Amino acid sequence: MPNLYAANTAYQLIKVLADALPVGPILIGTAKPAHILTTLVTTRGVVNMTALAVV
Q: Cα–Cα–Cα angle for 14, 1, 36, nearest 5°? A: 70
Is residue 45 very low, low, confident or very high in pLDDT (cuts 50, 70, 90)? confident
Rounded Cα–Cα distance for residues 46 and 36 (Å): 10
% of the chain with per-residue pLDDT over 70 = 93
Average pLDDT of span 38-47: 87
* Position 39 in a domain: yes
* Position 9 in a domain: no
Our count of domains for the chain comes to 1
Question: pLDDT digit string (tens) for 4-29?
Answer: 999 889 988 988 999 877 777 776 77
Rounded Cα–Cα distance for residues 34 and 53 (Å): 9
Rounded Cα–Cα distance for residues 52 and 25 (Å): 11
* Position 43 in a domain: yes
Q: By the 8 A CB rule, do 52 and 35 touch?
A: yes
List the domain range (segments joined by +) for residue 26. 22-55
* Position 8 in a domain: no
